[in-house]
């Protein structure tokens, strides 16, 4: 007898009600994400944090927005537990809204490791080409990274910026003693950063190690454009160069001391080809460092919070972008350690080591050529 047949009608009703409760909470949570996107993009949180508590009219005036919309948004934010209200029983001309102190860092402090607001922008980006995604589910094929648009690119760069700018050079690389020593030594080390997006990992390494030269490569031209601007703005353009290149390009070769790939191998249509390139790029005594998602070693029904989130990105974005070639392997966000080990071995690496660096959603792999 199956578990469904063995359930009493009371048990089924209990299960149904628990499911509906979770479903409704998720729907409200989705609205919170969309509302955070509005508050972030229109500068509403920043205006409240910097200008202090405001009525809807004051906030609209501060941000050049329409009072009626702002009033609705402020009330929604309060009910959602994101903002707080003073004088709640008075009219809207007296009711003032503010950001609780503990919500400021997650919502507006863009260089803080606790800055999570870009997740809302990433989510909006991930659903941007939904009709094309549905088409891919029906007919196979993929959806190009470009179709996800600016919100996906910007959200991705913003969510990783604090870690790449601070933790990467200040905590993660210093934990890998030989790499740390080589990046400080002469002759100046050369680093290649594959799938660099807006370039924050390349720039973070150059910021932390003032001798090194970094070449960042990405297939996406708008991302490379922004990476070049970021290099100039941070006065690192002399030592950090960016170029539009496909990681699978067989002509990509070099003699680099360190070759890195942050959160991108699982997005690639041909991860083995990309790893072969990384193998060609690295010196015999150099290091390849892959930073990808911290998922479990195997699929289990209960999963965990990280996998719940990673499968979400996968069904909407990472799997579709990884399916755009007819030969694509279709890895998806939930790239397990064994999957990477198999790719690395096919690409000619002798060994894959998981480094003992703790992070909520990243895992650090060191590949030996
Ligand atoms: C999820 S984003 C990660 C960007 C950046 N490394 C980060 O962690 O913020 C994945 C990146 O991989 C790039 N990418 C995907 N396939 C690529 C390929 N074959 N060659 C070079 N870049 C590629 C995409 O254009 C995109 O910028």
138-160 pLDDT, tens digit each: 999 999 999 999 999 999 999 99
Rounded alpha-carbon distances, angstroms, from residue 265 to 141, 274, 276, 340: 19, 8, 12, 9
Please give the average per-residue pLDDT across 236-256, as a whole number. 96
Q: pLDDT at position 3, please?
A: 64
Summarised one tens digit per residue, pLDDT across range 188-200 is 999 999 999 999 9
Please give the average per-residue pLDDT across 322-347, as a whole number. 97
- What is the rounded distance in angstroms from the CA atom of residue 158 to the CA atom of residue 297? 28
Pairing of β 282-293 and β 362-368: antiparallel
Q: What is the mean pLDDT of the chain?
A: 96
48's tokens: 């409240």
- What is the rounded distance in angstroms from the CA atom of residue 127 to the CA atom of residue 243? 28
Query: Does residue 1 carry a pLDDT above 70?
Result: no
Supply the residue whose CA is at minimum distance from atom 13 of ligand 1.
195
Q: Is the CB of 320 under 6 A from ligand 1?
A: no
Supply the residue whose CA is at minimum distance from atom 15 of ligand 1.
268
Please give the average per-residue pLDDT across 333-340, as a whole number. 98
Q: Is the CB of 196 under 6 A from ligand 1?
A: yes
Select from 214, 113, 205, 206 the least CA-distant residue to 168. Answer: 205
Which residues neighbour 163 within 8 Å (Cβ) at sequence distance 6 or greater?
Answer: 113, 359, 362
Atom of ligand 1 nearest to the CA of 157: 9
- Is the separation of the CB atoms in 204 and 262 below 8 Å? no
- What is the rounded distance in angstroms from the CA atom of residue 82 to the CA atom of residue 104? 10
Supply the residue whose CA is at minimum distance from atom 25 of ligand 1.
220
Angle formed by the axes of helices 67-79 and 56-63, nearest 10°: 120
- What is the rounded distance in angstroms from the CA atom of residue 294 to the CA atom of residue 306? 7
Please give the average per-residue pLDDT across 265-283, as a whole number. 98
Rounded alpha-carbon distances, angstroms, from residue 76 to 33, 34, 106, 184, 344: 12, 11, 18, 51, 49
- What is the rounded distance in angstroms from the CA atom of residue 289 to the CA atom of residue 311? 24
Q: pLDDT at position 89, please?
A: 86
For residue 266, how many other CB atoms are within 10 A of its CB?
Answer: 27
3-class DSSP state for residue 6? coil
Rounded alpha-carbon distances, angstroms, from residue 31 to 76, 82, 106, 139, 310: 9, 12, 18, 30, 20
283 C-alpha vs ligand 1 centroid, how far in Å?
Answer: 23
Q: Is the CB of 262 under 6 A from ligand 1?
A: yes
- What is the rounded distance in angstroms from the CA atom of residue 258 to the CA atom of residue 281? 9
Q: Which of 161, 162, 196, 197 to mutate to test the pocket of ligand 1 (most atoms within 8 A of CB)?
A: 197
25's tokens: 């909470």
pTM: 0.95
Query: Does residue 245 carry a pLDDT above 60?
Result: yes
Percentage of residues of the chain with pLDDT beyond 90: 95
136's tokens: 């891919």
């Amino acid at each position: 007898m199956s578990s469904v047949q063995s359930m009493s009608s009371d048990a089924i009703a209990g299960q149904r009600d628990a499911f509906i409760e979770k479903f409704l909470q998720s729907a409200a949570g989705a609205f919170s994400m969309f509302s955070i996107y509005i508050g972030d993009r229109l500068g509403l949180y920043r205006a409240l944090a910097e200008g202090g508590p405001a009525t809807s009219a004051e906030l609209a005036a501060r941000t050049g927005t329409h009072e009626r919309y702002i009033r609705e948004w402020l009330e929604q934010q309060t009910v959602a537990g994101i903002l707080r209200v003073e004088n709640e029983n008075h009219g809207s001309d007296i009711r003032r809204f503010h950001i609780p102190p503990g919500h400021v860092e997650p919502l507006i402090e863009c260089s803080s490791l606790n800055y999570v607001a870009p997740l809302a922008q990433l989510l909006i980006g991930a659903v941007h080409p939904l009709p094309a995604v549905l088409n891919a589910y029906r007919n196979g094929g993929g959806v190009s990274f470009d179709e996800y648009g600016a919100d996906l690119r910007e959200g991705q760069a913003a969510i990783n910026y604090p870690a790449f700018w601070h933790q990467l050079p200040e905590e993660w690389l210093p934990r890998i003693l030989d790499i740390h020593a080589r990046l400080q030594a002469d002759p100046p080390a050369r680093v290649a950063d594959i799938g660099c997006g807006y370039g924050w990992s390349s720039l973070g390494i150059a910021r932390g190690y003032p001798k090194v030269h970094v070449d960042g490569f990405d297939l996406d031209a708008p991302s490379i454009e922004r990476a070049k601007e970021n290099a100039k703005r941070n006065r690192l353009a002399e030592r950090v160069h960016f170029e539009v290149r496909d990681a699978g390009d067989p002509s990509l070769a070099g003699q680099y001391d360190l070759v890195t790939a942050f959160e991108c191998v699982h997005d690639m249509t041909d991860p083995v080809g990309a790893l072969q390139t990384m193998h060609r790029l690295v010196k015999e005594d150099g290091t390849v460092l892959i930073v990808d998602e911290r998922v479990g070693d195997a699929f289990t029904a209960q999963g965990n919070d990280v996998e719940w989130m990673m499968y979400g990105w996968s069904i909407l974005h990472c799997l579709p972008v990884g399916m755009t070639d007819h030969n694509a392997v279709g890895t998806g966000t939930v790239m397990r350690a064994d999957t990477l080990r198999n790719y690395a071995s096919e690409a000619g690496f002798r060994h894959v080591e998981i480094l003992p660096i703790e992070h909520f959603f990243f895992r650090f792999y060191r590949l030996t050529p």
